[in-house]
Amino acid sequence: MAIRLSYAGLHARALSESHQAAQLLRHLAALDRDAHLPVLAASLINHAVRLAEAGRREEALLVSEEAVTMGRELAELNRDAHLPDLANALINHAVRLAEAGRREEALPVSEEAVTLRRELAELNRDAHMSDLAASLTNHANRLAQVGRQREALPVSKEAVQSYRELIAFNGTPTCPTWPPRWPTTPYGWQRPGGGGGAAGQRGSGQAEPGAGRAQPDRLPARPGQLVDQ
């Protein structure tokens, strides 16, 4: 609901719904952490986006950082299942850091997200190429923001090449937000066929463009994911 309200421009209502969802999921995670932590982490990513949309960037940063901490915990417990969720939490946190003016701190976070998504793309290129391309785009922006344009250029070129590969495989995109938005469950995005992050696997959580993957920096292309414009 919060994601749909946000897309409709109803940001105050979206923030309220997002806050309520996060609070309910905190309660559930307190009762059964193993069962509900993945969805809570995804919900926190979405809530951080909603806070940032409302201009509450410092609060968004704290929530985003908490999501990263949970993502690391989940990846330690089951790396294969939760590595995509950690990567998503990291790329979103890098965006939040950059928005808060902490651009130097955002850079290593963004770089780690790219590293993880390269690892995922090597394991399953078809499933993770879109996320890798989005992460590369974001990382190129992070590099450029700190004056490292020469390093940003090859990263940006790699992102373009990745998108060309996606277009060649999937056909020319006709919507302005590429990669396209994915369908969402009551908790967040779900990749067609049931794939996706914590959100997709459990009926989820951004995980909007969330729990999930890469607007460019402000309007997630799909639940959990953020790409810079």
Check: CB of residue 219 under 8 Å from CB of residue 46. Answer: no
As a whole number, the mean pLDDT across the chain is 78
User: What is the value of pTM for the model shown?
Assistant: 0.74
Residue 99 pLDDT grade (very low, low, confident, very high; cuts 50, 70, 90): very high
Cis? peptide before 179, omega within 30° of 0 = yes
**At residue 33, does pLDDT exceed 90?**
yes
CA distance 128 to 196: 10
Q: Tell me which of 162 and 214 has the higher pLDDT.
A: 162
Q: How many residues does the chain have?
A: 229
- C-alpha count within 13 angstroms, C-beta hemisphere, residue 8: 10
Q: For 2-202, which CATH superfamily applies? A: Tetratricopeptide repeat domain (1.25.40.10)
Return the H-helix or E-strand segment holding 21: helix 11-31
**Residue 11: what pLDDT?**
72
Q: Which residues contact 139 (CB under 8 A, 6 or more apart)?
A: 94, 110, 111, 113, 114, 155
**Residue 3: what pLDDT?**
73
Range among 19-28, 181-190, 207-216 with highest mean pLDDT value? 19-28
Which residue is listed with tokens 């250029």? 153
Cis? peptide before 154, omega within 30° of 0 = no
Q: For residue range 186-220, what is the model confidence (pLDDT) as tens digits? A: 333 333 333 344 433 333 333 333 333 433 333 33
46: closest CA among 194, 156, 204? 204
Residue 42 pLDDT grade (very low, low, confident, very high; cuts 50, 70, 90): very high
CA distance 227 to 122: 21
Q: Which two tokens stand for residue 126?
A: 């078809």
- Name beta bridge partners: 207: 211
CA distance 70 to 74: 6
Check: CB of residue 193 under 8 Å from CB of residue 176. Answer: no
Domain boundaries, the chain: 2-202
Return the minimum-mean-pLDDT range out of 2-11, 56-65, 165-174, 201-210. Answer: 201-210
